[in-house]
Amino acid sequence: MAPQERAVGVREPSPPSAAAAEQQDPAGEDSPGSAGAALDLSTDGGGEGEAGDELALTAAKRDEYLALAQRTQADFENYRKRVARDAAAAETRGLVRVARELLPSLDNLGRAVAHADDGDTDPVLIDGLMLVQRELLGALQRVGIESYGEAGERFDPELHEAVAQQPFEGRAAGEIVEVYQPGYRLAGGALVRPARVLVAG
């Protein structure tokens, strides 16, 4: 009778249900909390990777555009300097050309003034000729063209054209004795016309 009484009067504990085990086991794979944490971690990691790639791509494009802008600026600066040099050279060529066309008339005006002093020419006419001569020389000087060549200077083959060379007493060899035609040059050194001179030999 005892075994039967134990079977009837004593109730043995039943094993925990599967649902309760899932709720009680915090480390279970099927736990809602653990699944959510794993999902959040994977999502955060993917977002950081995409943001880093976009940042690197943006930085690369920025560097590329900056290099392009610097090259463009350097090319424009070189172009500006080249245009300025070309404009200055063109202006110099224009001045030299105009001066060469005017110099023969200026030479004839100088000869007229020199011969007028020797004769009985009207002083008013002489003054007028000298005034025109001064104005022409002043105009050349204002655009940077100056005359040169005087007796007593040393002969320079780059600046002077020797019409004749002969010995002169009291003059050193290579000294300019007489200037037949004055020379003209730009203030920067470019030659417009060499001076024609007589040189002591």
What CATH number has the domain bearing residue 159?
2.30.22.10
- Pull the structure tokens for residue 29: 């794979």
52 within some domain = no
Residue 125: its pLDDT value, please? 86
17 within some domain = no
26 within some domain = no
Q: Are 99 and 145 in contact (CB under 8 A)?
A: yes
Residue 194: its pLDDT value, please? 95
Is residue 161 scored above 80 in pLDDT? yes
Among residues 173, 162, 170, 165, the alpha carbon closest in space to that of 196 is found at 162
Give the separation between CA 95 and CA 42, rounded to whole angstroms.
Answer: 80
42 within some domain = no
Exposed/middle/buried for 171, CB within 10 Å: 0-12, 13-18, 19+? middle
62 within some domain = no
Range of the domain at 190: 145-201
Report the domain count for the chain.
Answer: 1
57 within some domain = no
Q: Could you give the percent of the chain with pLDDT greater than 90? A: 49
Average pLDDT value for residue range 61-80: 93
Is residue 67 scored above 70 in pLDDT? yes
Residue 112: its pLDDT value, please? 87
89 within some domain = no
| pTM score of the predicted model | 0.60
38 within some domain = no
Distance between start and end Cα atoms, the chain: 165
Question: pLDDT tier at 16 (50, 70, 90 boundaries)?
Answer: low
Question: pLDDT tier at 121 (50, 70, 90 boundaries)?
Answer: confident
- Could you tell me which residues are beta bridge partners of residue 145? 186
